[in-house]
Chains A and B, each alone.
Chain A
Amino acid sequence: MSWIRERELSFIERLTANILKAGPMPKHVAFIMDGNRRFAQKAHVQRQEGHSQGFEKLAETLRLCLNLGIHEVTVYAFSIENFKRSKEEVDGLMELARQKFSRLLTEHENLERHGVCIRVLGDLTLLPIDLQQLIAKAVVATKAHNKCFLNVCFAYTSRHEIANAVKEMAWGVEQGLIKPSDVSEVLLGECLYSSNSPNPDLLIRTSGEVRLSDFLLWQTSYSCLVFQSVLWPEYSFWNLCEAVLQYQLSYRSLQKAGDLHREGQALQQMEADRCCVAELLQHRGNGKPMDAQSRQKELLNYTASREERVHCFLNALQHKRDTAPFLPRRAAASV
């Protein structure tokens, strides 16, 4: 079935949506879609059917988010830890993924109409090669769409993502593109798989579990966390509204916290730049102390050159990702 269900809101639902929209709305929501297997047990069906219904619910929830003006959704579809499951279940999930990504390639028009851009985040090299290629094609096919974004975390854990970001920065140092002192919180954020998205405003986990399970640990530091006991395949519009309401109640505190954090980040960066300039001047130094104006000028020059370095590095990184090895040569050329 389709990646995005046609789902118009009923009168009551539309009324509720309008009331909610009078307050602050999250722009990016992340879901841990937990509870497929428990749902299957409850409904006396096979696990595979539970996962399948879970996918249907994803398609419907994406539509509901669009109805509420939420244009970016990130979902936790498959963790690297899930490879520990039985071969049968893992194979079943891979097969489901094959079906869905193949289906995506056939419903191009529908996705174009809604402007859905699909990204897949994770260590895709852990997946079967044919699935990697399917995913690559699907991502390329929807790359130009920009009305709404669906980020699917597949073969993903947050620690892997963070370690990978550090690895990319180390690669940048190896290539002579950046210096170790250029490494900062902001730069690390730009090297994550999710660098094209803003941090989620709201993270929702279903099925009653109250942990993050290695999902977006870096990105959700200042997000609203909502844990709901409903099982994912039973998720409804009302559950979504409840979560959004929770977000609205925490909104002001979280904004303040986020603003403070950003201020702190900027101060830290300035401090780091100052230290680097001081070191540089010492090296260069001819014993004469510099006046404040020249020091300030040096600082501005240094900051500008650092930003230039970082900009070039990020371009090189993007290029490296766009020409990733699992993209068949023809697809890579068309990117």
Chain B
Amino acid sequence: MFPRMRLHKYTWIKIIVKKLKYLQMDPKIPFQEIQQFLYAFHILKLKLQKGQVIIYQFIQQKRNNSRLMEGILKQQQELLGMDSSKYSVEFMKNGTDKQEHQVLSCQSVVKVLSPDDGRLSIVQAAQQLCRAVELKEKTSKDINVTVLDSLLRESKNIPDPDLVLKFGPVESTLGFLPWHIRLTEIISMPSHVDVSYDDLFGALQRYAMCDQRLGK
């Protein structure tokens, strides 16, 4: 029924939730909008292999995080019923994030990120390396892309997204994981409100047609 899609083992999808919208509106509303997306995604997910979803909330201040978390979990229960154990939701906290559950299992993970998880994570890794240099555990010559990359993976176990689905009219990544998106395909969609299964599937088909030459 579904054509074979050339998808990587971990297909990450991300939503940018436009900050302005949420500051002005009743905090309850985000849950309803995310509900539709999760539902559409749920149907799609049954056809995909292992997958993970990141929800990126462009909110500077840490507002209502626990309410958002509660809301998402509640929606999960309502929508997914029996399947809800297949999904786990977590907030990425700024700083070290020790993963208990393996993301390599059939579980799908919803992660909620903010701009602090982007540049600020890189700055924190840089501070860590500088402290090591101060204590003479390392020299500046030891620092390269690999070292920095592995340090970033240690603190936040997020693989590089293959695909970013960007919702909303603002044509920007708005600080989303700058280090991780070097090869990520960025597909824009008009809005996350009333997003349909067909819209999502269409975006995934577009992704499948991308030809990554990786410099060659």
Contact = CB atoms under 8 A, between A and B. Distances in A.
Interface of A: 79-85, 157-160, 162-163, 165-171, 173-174, 179-181, 183-185, 188, 209-214, 217-218, 220-227, 246, 249-250, 253-254, 256-257, 260-261, 263-264, 268
A170 B133 contact: yes
Nearest to B174: A257
Nearest to B138: A170
Interface in B115-135: 115, 118-120, 122-123, 125-127, 129-131, 133-134
Contacts of B138: 170
Contacts of B133: 170, 173-174, 180
B149 A159 contact: yes
A28 B141 CA distance: 33
Interface stretch (B75-83, B104-112, B183-191): B183-191
A211 B184 contact: yes
Interface string B138-181: 11110111011100000000000000000001111111101101
A210 B120 CA distance: 25
A84 B143 contact: no
B24 interface: no
A221 B182 contact: no
23 contacts: A79-B215, A81-B214, A85-B215, A158-B178, A159-B145, A162-B148, A163-B144, A166-B129, A166-B143, A167-B140, A167-B141, A168-B140, A170-B129, A170-B143, A173-B134, A180-B130, A209-B210, A213-B182, A221-B118, A221-B174, A226-B171, A257-B174, A261-B175
B179 A257 contact: no
Given A188-B126, A211-B186, A212-B184, A254 B172 contact: yes
A220 to B, nearest CB: 7
Contacts of A83: 215
Interface residues of B, number: 51
List 6 tightest A-B contacts by C-beta distance, closest first.
Answer: A81-B215, A170-B140, A180-B130, A214-B182, A171-B140, A167-B143
A217 B127 contact: no
B58 interface: yes
A249 B169 contact: yes
A82 B181 contact: no
Contact of B120 (A163, A185, A227): A185
B1 interface: no
B129 A225 contact: no
Interface of B: 18-20, 58, 60, 115, 118-120, 122-123, 125-127, 129-131, 133-134, 138-141, 143-145, 147-149, 169-176, 178-179, 181-187, 210, 212, 214-216
A261 B145 contact: no
Given A212-B181, A213-B183, A257-B174, A163 B215 contact: no
Contacts of A171: 140
A166 B126 contact: yes
A159 B182 contact: yes
A183 B172 contact: no
A151 B178 CA distance: 21
A221 B127 contact: no
A268 B184 CA distance: 29
A29 to B, nearest CB: 14
Contacts of A227: 186
B120 A222 contact: no
B175 A184 contact: no
A169 B126 contact: yes
A250 B166 CA distance: 14
B18 to A, nearest CB: 8
A257 B140 contact: no
A184 to B, nearest CB: 6
B148 A166 contact: yes
Given A221-B178, A225-B172, A261-B115, A180 B183 contact: no
Given A221-B176, A227-B186, 8 more contacts: A159-B149, A166-B143, A184-B123, A211-B186, A212-B183, A217-B178, A253-B170, A254-B170
B20 A256 contact: yes
Contacts of B170: 250, 253-254, 257
Contact of B174 (A85, A184, A222): A222
Contacts of A260: 19, 60
Nearest to A209: B210
Contacts of B58: 257
A53 B115 CA distance: 40
A159 B127 contact: no
Contacts of B173: 220-221, 225
A254 B168 CA distance: 13
Contacts of A163: 143-145, 147-148
A221 B172 CA distance: 7
A158 B145 CA distance: 10
A181 to B, nearest CB: 7
Contacts of A174: 133, 139-140
A81 B183 CA distance: 12
Contact of B130 (A173, A249, A253, A254): A173
A169 B58 CA distance: 29
